[in-house]
Structure 1
């Protein structure tokens, strides 16, 4: 698709797109598992669980013989621990804040839509981007996980723009699918967590290799 379309808003995935959150995801997941006497996972293992929300992450992290009640306790522990320990080791990818600042100065609306649970998204937004990103949502009773388009359409409404005036930036196939399901163009970021072949198989409309590249979508 043409890059000459006029865009009014950028919406971003969080983990692996705006922020390198894996160290904290590993720490919090293993704390939640240890509380129930379950063994820890390596960062490489947990990386393969990331992207479909905390509930799915925990479902894959608990042992196969864990009872539903045990799995639910681990999930609740994860959410509780995330509030206290979820942004200790998290860092932004180099150049993210500078690019967001330039986009905002150019008049772009900015939002986050993540498969992370909503309060976790808000905690992270308030820590890293309190004055930059005005709208932020995660998985909740009202917002299903991507690739469902509900969350993206909600972000567009709250930003006061039409879906086709938005770009959605993400590092996973579900991000690309969610954008298309919402009638938005999808931008694949190559610095994230999902293997490149899976990301490209989801047919992104655009691909960028570094955060500053997002600025090329702003019409001068």
Structure 2
């Protein structure tokens, strides 16, 4: 078997969390009498961490660092209490994880979502499947920085080239390439196929179980 481990992105790859994220941010915007955004807008705001999403969501006239910081903390407080209201696995994900476990493939998660939220959501929705689960704790280490991905491979006792990295964004594909892992993009998430290919995807999945033949 060529590959012995898989690292998954979380939002847009394992779970559809768009509505919970958007609803939390829109609550913050409504409380400030700022314009809100629809779900289609938020799928382009997601991917570079929640602080970056807050910045993209705020009006340009109210986008200074102090306001971003205040709104970020407000958004996190709301989102933390509502992060699994509507968030659910994409169809076929649980079946894929069961198949990977049956083949003794080691599984990890690496997300640009805040570390505590990444761990909480993954543990609630996918208990027992992933170890390690890594979110964003240091801004400079967020994807496409490959540091955490490489650390995950080390913790699993694998070389980076023995790992597949699965994600739904160009940033995920860049992370895989930077870490010397096999970049696999999914088209059920928040970004188009063209973005994935342009950023180095070696394979494109239209259904989770399409990953199995790549092993």
- Root-mean-square deviation (CA, aligned residues, Å) is 1.5
**What secondary structure, in the 3-state scheme, does the structure 2 residue paired with 1:52 have?**
coil
User: Which of 188, 193, 198 is residue 195 of structure 2 equivalent to?
Assistant: 198
Which residue of 2 is the match for residue 217 of structure 1? 214
Q: Normalization by structure 1: what TM-score? A: 0.92
Q: 1:111, 1:73 → 2: CA distance?
A: 32
Assess if the C-alpha contact under 8 Å between 2:6 and 2:163 holds in 1. Answer: yes
User: Which of 69, 72, 77 is residue 72 of structure 1 equivalent to?
Assistant: 69
Change (3 A) 1:215 1:8: same
User: Which of 36, 41, 46 is residue 45 of structure 1 equivalent to?
Assistant: 41
Which residue of 2 is the match for residue 60 of structure 1? 56
Deviation string 1:79-116 (CA, Å, 9 cap, x unpaired) is: 22221011101111101011101101210110111111
**What secondary structure, in the 3-state scheme, does the structure 1 residue paired with 2:61 have?**
coil
Paired residues, number: 214
Q: Normalization by structure 2: what TM-score? A: 0.94
Which residue of 1 is the match for residue 94 of structure 2? 97
Q: Provide runs of 4+ in structure 1 moved above 6 Å.
A: none
Assess if the C-alpha contact under 8 Å between 1:143 and 1:151 holds in 2. Answer: no
Q: Confirm or deny that 1:23 pairs with 2:23.
A: no
Q: 1:15, 1:52 → 2: CA distance?
A: 11
Q: 2:143, 2:190 → 1: CA distance?
A: 16
Deviation string 1:49-85 (CA, Å, 9 cap, x unpaired) is: 1111101100111111224322211101122222101
Assess if the C-alpha contact under 8 Å between 1:143 and 1:150 holds in 2. Answer: no
Shift of 1:134: 1.6
Q: Confirm or deny that 1:6 pairs with 2:7.
A: no
Shift of 1:35: 3.6
Unaligned ranges ≥5, structure 2: none
Matching of residues 78-93 of structure 1 within 5 Å = 78-93=75-90
Assess if the C-alpha contact under 8 Å between 2:51 and 2:68 holds in 1. Answer: no
